[in-house]
Structure 1
Amino acid sequence: MKSMYTGGTIRRTALAVALGLTFAGGAAHAQSNASGVIFGHADNAAGASVRIDNVDTGLSRELPLPADGRYRATSLPVGHYKVSLVRSGAAVETRDVQVNIGTGTDVSFVAAASGNAATSLEGISVSGTALPAIDVSSVDSRTVLTADQLQRIPVASNVNAAALLAPGVVSGDSRYGGVVSFGGASAAENQYYINGFAVTNPLTGLGFATLPFDAIDQQQILTGGYGAEYGRSTGGVVNITTKRGTNTWKAGAQVQWSPRSLKSNPRNIYYPRTSGNVTDGTIYQYREGNKTDDLLYGLYVSGPLIKDKLFVYAAADVVRTDNSAGVTNVLTKTAFDGPLKANHWVGKIDWNITDSHILELTGIGDTNLNDTTIYSYDYATRSRTRVLGSEHQKNIGTANSTPGGVMYIGKYTGYITDSLTIDALYGHSKTDHVDNVSGAAGVTCPNIVDNRNVPAALKRVSCAPVQGNLIAPGANDKVKNWRFDIQYSLGDHDLRAGVDNQTAESYGGLAVQGGALWTYSNPPASGKITGFPELAIPPGTTEIARRQIFRAAGNVKVEQEAQFIEDHWQISQNWLAYMGLRNEQFKNFNTDGVVFVKQRHQLAPRLGVTWDVYGDSTLKVYANAGRYHLAIPSNVAIRGAGPQLFERQYFAYGSVDPTTNAPINPTPISGIHYANGADGSAPDPKTLSAKNLSAYYQDEYILGFDKQLGSDWTVGAKATYRKLRSIIDDMCDSRPIEAWAERNNIAISPDAKIPGCLLFNPGKGNTFTIDLNNDGRYENIALSKADLGFPDLKRKYLAVNLYVEHQFNQQFFGRAEYVWSQSFGNSEGLLKSDIGQLDPSVTQDWDFPELMIGSNGPLPSDRRHQVKAYGFWQATPEWLFGANLLALSGRPKNCLGIRPPDTFNYGSSYFYCNGEDAPRGSRGRLPWTYQLSLSAEYRPSFFNHDLSLKMDVFNLFNQQRVQNIDETYQTADGPLSPTYGRPLSFSTPRSVRLTARYDFSM
């Protein structure tokens, strides 16, 4: 964008910031997470003031300048402003600026080196793609995307797809849904906000409630170094503000269509190895018809109910996915189709009570309905046969990653004095989860897994339309969140303090579909099943069946409180220091409403400094260090603190039911084994976790620089180091407790209620409180790290980020970056993507020391090389072209087998294969992923450019690369798994999205 000032020169940073921060790192000057800041200074300040006017809403503030000429306007709603230097009641200089979410904009009125006064920037066209700046007041790492940019870059219409544009952000495991991983953390360690209200899934930490994508005004992605106002995240933060009404009535409509006929066929999945009667090249899942027609209708309207005072914005999307034709694998032999319906809406009222008092009210609705019909499927003829049943899901999504629901948010901002600002926010949400299955009338259909060594055509399948665990009836989540912040400017110090409290209540849980899971297998050649323990198979038995029953459900609650204070200290014109401290408290309640984990005074210091090397904002060097805590998701209480049944038993049988494929009159050949003691009773909350349990936390260090080259180019580099210091997981090993009792001459009663698994801090000593004699007396059992036998906790993330950016100059914007990173250790964190386990903080990793042998190595989020490039070109006033390129190295591969003797009955869960250790990542890597997406937009002049016709082509060259594989080497009973190495997902095939959009003013 060319400048239009005359006479003399002006600091490049002032021009760039005045035009609006976008992709570059923004200021962290004590701004609210749903608003922005304008600050600066002026020469000859005596008797002068600065007036700030919102161009769209009429909101106005005037700040008298102190003797040093510095001023600061905090908690400003994002939008377009005019900032004027006022002398003797008249504006002598004016700037046009764009205030972005969570950022500071430097607007200074200073004399240039030539002696001429800085001249007006009036007349410069301001848009969402305005020039970024090297902002010497920022210490964090952020990407800000405006509505205009999200429309111009070819990117899928969802928040996580936009987040993937930021450096160091990669897709999570496909089994968790469309989630993302930030900076080596697991995908359950992020926080999402809409207008300042936390919308992260409270049950698992995966995913968030959404809104109409077109209603997003700005999306901020924080990838590191964020200040003390943010907590409950060791990954990243996604911060969204919605559009709002202005003094002009506006309306618009759009239609987006992704036709099935213009989508490439997904790749079929084949068995990867020879095993018995299964040979290389045998199809496992036919997927060529797994395509849909996707259609979106969107409307919005906004404007003033009372000019300059009261504004309204409302938008709604109706999304429908039809003509699906999916096919499951050859073992389950089913096909499915049915519509997916999603209704998203948002309504917002903004009331400028006075220029000093602002009230915002937001309502958001997000409902997802999935009605699926299940058919039997004949792989020989590639055709459906009969209807098996149906499944109805509401606000479920894969792994509960799209919680949905309805939420309401209220926010008040008061400019009490020129130096004092207060912000208050309250929000609440409720989400219902429904998962209903209907199958054959009057028949209970258990889950069936057939591991027998027989041809695929003879494999037994369930009569149920779906298999697996279903969500408990009546499941729902409720979240309440309130915040109160005070900001005060005192000389060179900008101070801020606040409280941030959240309560999340959930009723949830899972139960196995059909009441049980039956697994069929041939007896091992040894005649024994190891780990049960050493179960001998009766002579003459040719087939065995294992019955597994699982059930866990209840009401749980998590209370999270935090207080923070921070100071941005302008030490000198060239140096700024940031100092912050966050204090957090977490309480987790079990299904009986009793606290079982309580953590107080979790102190998280945050420090940062920036150096404006030449004093003209053309070269910035910055550094920061911080500690970040994470609370335990409420799912832990359901799985670990509530009643849980996990029952296993082996049977011999003569025949199976022709309808259900369950054994007829099976004969037990083993007793009932309760995995980890889960016998259906609720554990004693006093014994559930170690005493003085440390919170989950991580330390982070960043060092970087930004350099401006000429008027259009910016380059920079950044190094990041993250180290996970403490996690909370569960251990299920009673041997250290038994050894302690023996050392202390204490006999353990046979009826002692020792929990099957205990929450603890891996990699260090822990003290447990347990009643060893079932007599009401609790022993404090202090166990050292050596007593427990686990290795040190290890998760480290190293990254170097290089970027080059061409700022928008009315024709072209482009940004390209390369990230070299390494994520390695023996724990992914809250999740275990190796097996797609969705049990945050109760993964199987730390259950027994033997499971950790060989666990150190490259973690699932390790993508050693990342290349991202995106931009757009305004070829003419009518034509705009966009591009988005991603090149990503592959995920490391593992081999998980059975390490003999499998005393703990964990089956194929050890880093041990083919009779030898198989350390994490030792099986190489999956292939690189390459994706190029292009877009073209036409805005005809005869519609005054209000009509937009756009085509996006995603994954132009249809590069479908493997994203994750089955890493389980053996079946649970020992034989080689025929699906080891089988692809679980590929990158999304090529698709085309056609959009017609019309915006108009009334």
Structure 2
Amino acid sequence: MLKKTVLVHALTLAFSAGLASVALPTAAYAASNSAGSLVGRAMAGTVVTIENKDIGLTRTITVGKDGQFQVTQLPPGTYTLSTTYADGSKENLSAAVNAGDGTTVTFAGPTAGQKVIVTGRATKIDVKSSESSQVLSKATIDRLPVTRDVTAVALLAPGATAGDTRIGSAGTRAGNVPSLGGASPAENVYYINGFNVTNSLNGVAFNQVPFDAIASQQVKTGGYGPEYGRSLGGVLSVTTKRGTNEWHGGANVIYSPSSLQGDSVYSEKSPTTGKWNLVSRPGGTDDLKSNLWIGGPVIEDKLYIFGLVQGASIKSKTYGNTEQSEVKNTSPQYLTKIDWNINDKNLLEFTAFSDKSKDKQYTYKSVVPYQTARGEKVGTDEFTTGGQNAIVKYTSWITDDFTVSALLGQGKYDRTSRIETAACPYVTDRRTSTTKKLGCATQTLITDPNAKDQRDAWRLDAEWNLGAHGLRFGMDNETYKTTEGSFYPGETNYSVRNLKAGSTLSNGYVNDTGSTLQYVQARTLFNGGTFKTKNSAFYLEDNWQVTKTVMASLGVRSESFNNLNAEGSSFIKVDNTIAPRLGLAWDVNGDAQTKVFANAGRYYIPVMSNTNVRLAGTETDYYDFYAFDGSFGSDKKQLPGMGAQLGSRQIVHNGEIKDPRTVVDPNIKPMFQDEYILGIQQALSNRWSVTAKATYRNLKSVMDDVCNDEGAGAWALGAGYTADQADTIAATVGNCFLYNPGKDLTANVDLGDGQGLTPITIPAAALKFPQPKRTYKALELGFERAWDGVWSLQGSYVLAYSKGNTEGYVKSDIGQDDAGIGQDWDYPGLMEGSYGFLPNDRRHTFKVFGAYQVAPEWRVGANVLIQSGRPRNCLGYYAGDLDGVSIGYQSASFYCNGELHPRGTWGRTPWLHELSVQANYEPKWMKGLSFQVDVLNVFNTRTVTSVTEEAEQGVGSPSPTFEQPYGIQKARSFRFQAQYTF
């Protein structure tokens, strides 16, 4: 790995070479996530005029001695490039510029005797970029049958897989985040018009604009440059629509009726075979949305406006075993975009949008399980997600060689809830294979009614052309404020369970009655507070045109993270992490037809605000166990009858705010990953191109909490500390301490010697943890036939291996999205047997999608996905000898029924197959009118995508819900659209 000084020296040498090598080819810049670039070839000295008539933007540039030119920071759109040669002949060509992408154009040169020639061409291959990305315009997306959201579009990219449906399960966007390149679903970063809209509480939510406000969407799955950070998975970037020199507008209605959906299903265990079956039941979702938009010039060539408003009427009905619910949503959403061409050199943009969404849920008792007969009303709850965002961006082309852009934004995300039954404890009977819910509670866990997030951010980027070298540099800064908390309704969660004779509970109680014991588990939990997280970064990159055909990108990014506790004191502060990035792109034949590219880079991800909440806030969490007397209360709460207490109270957290110096290793490093990519891309005739790429990602450092008081205490006694001092050291670590698992742990401990806090370093071996591992190895083969007005086709095959002992920021095995503070690494017993194929491992993935204009008025489209299943586990009570506490985590270890079953060895879920189709009709008798129908999951395949992996209710006591299907492929649905545009 390059040291910081070596890399800086290399950049300095490259900079110096650029000043001395003016005869070398011109360097090219990578495009930003909200603008594109043009890179061209023409005769030296040619004056090229670049014009986008739609937005009144004109640039003039003189081709250098090397015969190359470039223009960066261009708003997306179609550009005309023209020139007049000395012999009087002229040449024009047209090129499409996409956000986050570079377009290569080539002028044919002068032709004596011809006044106008149009023989220049644009190529699909960006021979100056070594990034792995996919850019889809809204027109392309509209030709494909996909769910209308950012995640569904992202899943079209090679290496993208759907995350577990339990991750990010709050609100209307439940379980809808992708896993990119083997990373966990919490490790992506999301942008809208260059502004970071990732919800940094735990990384599993993000702000979105209305779908019809999208102009294009880009997915970077690897190799991205130093201007991007805070991601180990990928970058998802949306560019919105904007006004042009012509007034355009439209309206549409999109309706997906529940009456045409495939049956809703529930899982039922066969009493004869013991296998889980999917059984049909009533229920479904009626989804009606309408959009109205208009955009155009307020002042032609100068000032433009675009506005869109979306209305919705969504109603979803679910019929369960003991309850049924109806959820309604009528939340309007909007986008406003204003663009001001101050002059030919300066552009000012303003974006405002809202994705605030409110679900109102009505819960009733079921008269008959899974049927429509409705009993008494239990309660009405309201959940809010999303919020308002405002972005200002200024771009200045100060000279032909120097460009600066500045962005300022504020984003809000509301997570408030109003739970009518908040005073009702949640009661379940888990003694049978179908869990029965009792009482009047409607939610298992309640979020703080005032929960919300706010990001205030700015960034500055600059590009400077120095002949063979193109310098890019910039910085960004954001403050993220979170108000968060959660608690059990009625403060305590009650569940009735079975404990076989001789089995043990997590608090150490052993059932010595000689028969199965029915018991009540009572868990009390509440936490919360208001916290701030401050992240900043700066970067430097030299895009060095080594030869006419070889581009080298040498970059470095430095990031700093500062997390504050509930009292406003820093408890994690990391300055100047160094992330080198190296990219190479070789235009093999110099004709933009064949590109060989390679990348090597390091990527860091910040400490999520969830860590502040769970580790540096107030948290009370404890268990009590009682004998069940066989009865439930007669009032609406239906509390279980409790007899004698079984063992003592098991305390997880005692509710104290800890001294920030005593909860974090002062030498802690954020989580980071190294990545290596090698690929080749070939342009073929008739708009075809093919790609082959190999990717290797290696997670180098993990940041999580450790609670291993036993290991810390035993080491302290052996190291010569007194018994009292050893107990203090053990308690400091045992309160759950944040550090880098697998490394030595340094803790600040008050040893009672009057010296205050003393740094104590505990060797890694004493804590008995394995070294963290997560690798992703993938071979990608892809092809594309670009749209020509008649047809397009695109597809990929990915062979991938995702293996290790940690998924990363979430734990899909049990649906835990406590980013950075999950149960992994708490105690060594939980990590025993943890190495294997990870939840996002999909060995084989085939994707094919495209569209065909079968007749002037008719177009069809299709989307096919074939993917192998994910690994499954058998999780149970810990039965090893690495520690005596992992058993307290209940069914959480890789021991199952007393035997070790390492990660991923319990088989896999079935292969997933899905075909979706589309038909579009645009009648000649009414220009601008269109009708469209999409059928998603045509054959209504209902593949189980995840199961309940907890196998025990006590040591040796099997869980009746083990292997119960949890994630199930969405049912077939029809979506109808009527649209008029002008």
User: Which shifted more, 607-616 or 256-265?
Assistant: 607-616
Q: What is the alpha-carbon distance in structure 1 between the residues aligned to residue 270 and residue 740 of structure 2?
A: 39
Q: What is the alpha-carbon distance in structure 2 between the residues aligned to residue 41 and residue 789 of structure 1?
A: 60
**Is 1:325 matched with 2:325?**
no
Q: Tell me the TM-score normalized by structure 1.
A: 0.90
**Is 1:925 matched with 2:908?**
yes
User: Which shifted more, 902-911 or 216-225?
Assistant: 902-911
Q: 1:746 matched to which residue of 2?
A: 722
Q: Secondary structure at the match of 1:208?
A: coil
Deviation at 1:975, TM superposition (A): 1.7
Aligned AA (1:496): R
Encode CA deviations 1:501-536: one digit per residue, 9 max, x unaligned.
11111000211122101122344412x634413456
Deviation at 1:545, TM superposition (A): 1.9
Q: Secondary structure at the match of 1:75?
A: strand
Deviation at 1:669, TM superposition (A): 4.0
Aligned AA (1:34): S
Encode CA deviations 1:13-56: one digit per residue, 9 max, x unaligned.
xxxxxxxxxxxxxx9823222111122232141xx422211120
Encode CA deviations 1:67-119: one digit per residue, 9 max, x unaligned.
4343222211111111122558999322211111012222333549x999997
Q: 1:497 matched to which residue of 2?
A: 473
Q: 2:199 matched to which residue of 1?
A: 201
Deviation at 1:185, TM superposition (A): 0.3
Check whether the contact 2:501–2:512 (CA below 8 A) recurs between aligned residues: no
Q: 1:882 matched to which residue of 2?
A: 861
Of residues 741, 749, 756, the one that matches 1:770 is 749
Structure 1's 422 and 687: CA in aligned 2 closer, same or farther, altered over 3 A? same
Query: Superposed, which structure 2 residues align to 1:662-741 within 5 Å?
Result: 662-663=639-640, 667-675=644-652, 678-741=653-716
Of residues 305, 318, 327, the one that matches 2:298 is 305
Check whether the contact 2:496–2:628 (CA below 8 A) recurs between aligned residues: no
Query: Superposed, which structure 2 residues align to 1:56-67 within 5 Å?
Result: 56-67=54-65
Encode CA deviations 1:803-842: one digit per residue, 9 max, x unaligned.
2222323311101211100101110000000000120111
Q: Name the structure where strand makes up a greater proportion of residues.
A: 2
Q: 2:274 matched to which residue of 1?
A: 280
Check whether the contact 1:273–1:978 (CA below 8 A) recurs between aligned residues: no
Deviation at 1:941, TM superposition (A): 0.8
Structure 1 unpaired stretches of 5+: 1-26, 125-130, 397-403
Deviation at 1:145, TM superposition (A): 0.5
Deviation at 1:766, TM superposition (A): 2.3
**Is 1:807 matched with 2:786?**
yes
User: Which shifted more, 750-759 or 236-245?
Assistant: 750-759
Check whether the contact 1:740–1:781 (CA below 8 A) recurs between aligned residues: no
Check whether the contact 2:627–2:642 (CA below 8 A) recurs between aligned residues: no
Deviation at 1:292, TM superposition (A): 1.4
Check whether the contact 1:391–1:437 (CA below 8 A) recurs between aligned residues: yes
Deviation at 1:431, TM superposition (A): 2.3
Q: Secondary structure at the match of 2:283?
A: coil
What is the number of residues matched between the two proteins? 939
Deviation at 1:879, TM superposition (A): 0.8
Q: What is the alpha-carbon distance in structure 2 between the residues aligned to residue 594 and residue 66 of structure 1?
A: 55
Q: 2:940 matched to which residue of 1?
A: 958
Q: Secondary structure at the match of 1:291?
A: strand
Structure 1's 405 and 118: CA in aligned 2 closer, same or farther, altered over 3 A? farther
Structure 1's 132 and 641: CA in aligned 2 closer, same or farther, altered over 3 A? farther
Encode CA deviations 1:646-683: one digit per residue, 9 max, x unaligned.
011123464532121214575534333211xx111112
Aligned AA (1:364): F
Of residues 897, 900, 922, the one that matches 2:876 is 897
Query: Superposed, which structure 2 residues align to 1:264-275 within 5 Å?
Result: 264-271=262-269
Q: Secondary structure at the match of 2:723?
A: coil
Aligned AA (2:200): P
Deviation at 1:358, TM superposition (A): 0.6
Q: 2:393 matched to which residue of 1?
A: 411
Deviation at 1:122, TM superposition (A): 8.3
Aligned AA (1:463): G
Deviation at 1:286, TM superposition (A): 6.2
Deviation at 1:290, TM superposition (A): 2.6
**Is 1:337 matched with 2:331?**
no
**Is 1:578 matched with 2:572?**
no
Structure 1's 665 and 832: CA in aligned 2 closer, same or farther, altered over 3 A? closer
Check whether the contact 1:432–1:476 (CA below 8 A) recurs between aligned residues: yes
Structure 1's 342 and 966: CA in aligned 2 closer, same or farther, altered over 3 A? same
Check whether the contact 2:557–2:578 (CA below 8 A) recurs between aligned residues: yes
Q: What is the alpha-carbon distance in structure 1 between the residues aligned to residue 642 and residue 967 of structure 2?
A: 39
Q: Secondary structure at the match of 1:68?
A: coil
Q: 2:494 matched to which residue of 1?
A: 518
Of residues 168, 185, 188, the one that matches 2:159 is 168
Query: Superposed, which structure 2 residues align to 1:775-794 within 5 Å?
Result: 777-794=756-773
Structure 1's 305 and 667: CA in aligned 2 closer, same or farther, altered over 3 A? same
Q: Secondary structure at the match of 1:142?
A: strand
Check whether the contact 1:497–1:565 (CA below 8 A) recurs between aligned residues: yes
Q: What is the alpha-carbon distance in structure 1 between the residues aligned to residue 67 and residue 370 of structure 2?
A: 81
Q: 2:32 matched to which residue of 1?
A: 32
Q: 2:138 matched to which residue of 1?
A: 147
Q: What is the alpha-carbon distance in structure 2 between the residues aligned to residue 66 and residue 969 of structure 1?
A: 69
Of residues 463, 486, 497, the one that matches 1:487 is 463
Aligned AA (1:519): S
Of residues 982, 991, 994, the one that matches 2:964 is 982
Encode CA deviations 1:193-224: one digit per residue, 9 max, x unaligned.
00000001121101211111011001011010
Q: Tell me the TM-score normalized by structure 2.
A: 0.92
Structure 1's 120 and 557: CA in aligned 2 closer, same or farther, altered over 3 A? farther
Aligned AA (2:595): K
Encode CA deviations 1:390-441: one digit per residue, 9 max, x unaligned.
3433334xxxxxxx110100000011111111000000012222222224xx
Structure 1's 31 and 537: CA in aligned 2 closer, same or farther, altered over 3 A? same
Check whether the contact 2:108–2:119 (CA below 8 A) recurs between aligned residues: no
Q: Secondary structure at the match of 2:221?
A: strand
Check whether the contact 2:430–2:436 (CA below 8 A) recurs between aligned residues: no
**Is 1:190 matched with 2:165?**
no
Structure 1's 818 and 273: CA in aligned 2 closer, same or farther, altered over 3 A? farther
Structure 1's 861 and 258: CA in aligned 2 closer, same or farther, altered over 3 A? same
Q: 1:628 matched to which residue of 2?
A: 603
Of residues 508, 516, 522, the one that matches 1:533 is 508
Encode CA deviations 1:585-610: one digit per residue, 9 max, x unaligned.
01111111111111112111110111
Structure 1's 281 and 139: CA in aligned 2 closer, same or farther, altered over 3 A? closer
Structure 1's 273 and 802: CA in aligned 2 closer, same or farther, altered over 3 A? farther
Deviation at 1:312, TM superposition (A): 0.3
Aligned AA (1:57): I
Q: What is the alpha-carbon distance in structure 2 between the residues aligned to residue 502 and residue 118 of structure 1?
A: 54
Encode CA deviations 1:814-873: one digit per residue, 9 max, x unaligned.
012111001011100000000001201111111111111111111000000000000000
Q: What is the alpha-carbon distance in structure 2 between the residues aligned to residue 100 and residue 186 of structure 1?
A: 28
Q: 2:571 matched to which residue of 1?
A: 596
Q: What is the alpha-carbon distance in structure 2 between the residues aligned to residue 670 and residue 737 of structure 1?
A: 26
Check whether the contact 1:378–1:384 (CA below 8 A) recurs between aligned residues: yes
User: Which shifted more, 737-746 or 780-789?
Assistant: 737-746
Q: What is the alpha-carbon distance in structure 2 between the residues aligned to residue 163 and residue 738 of structure 1?
A: 48
Check whether the contact 2:30–2:129 (CA below 8 A) recurs between aligned residues: no
Structure 1's 56 and 849: CA in aligned 2 closer, same or farther, altered over 3 A? same
Encode CA deviations 1:265-313: one digit per residue, 9 max, x unaligned.
0333112677xxxx73788x86522311110111101011111111000
Q: What is the alpha-carbon distance in structure 2 between the residues aligned to residue 391 and residue 603 of structure 1?
A: 50
Q: 2:241 matched to which residue of 1?
A: 243
Q: 2:377 matched to which residue of 1?
A: 388
Check whether the contact 2:897–2:952 (CA below 8 A) recurs between aligned residues: no
Give 4+ residue runs of structure 1 displaced > 6 Å after superposition. 88-91, 114-119, 536-541
Q: What is the alpha-carbon distance in structure 2 between the residues aligned to residue 90 and residue 480 of structure 1?
A: 54
Identity score, percent: 38
**Is 1:420 matched with 2:413?**
no
Q: 1:362 matched to which residue of 2?
A: 351
Q: What is the alpha-carbon distance in structure 2 between the residues aligned to residue 315 and residue 991 of structure 1?
A: 26
Encode CA deviations 1:957-1002: one digit per residue, 9 max, x unaligned.
11110000011111156521111111002111111100001001xx
Q: Secondary structure at the match of 1:498?
A: strand
Structure 1's 766 and 674: CA in aligned 2 closer, same or farther, altered over 3 A? same
Please give the root-mean-square deviation of Cα atoms over the aligned residues, in Å. 2.5
User: Which shifted more, 537-546 or 791-800?
Assistant: 537-546
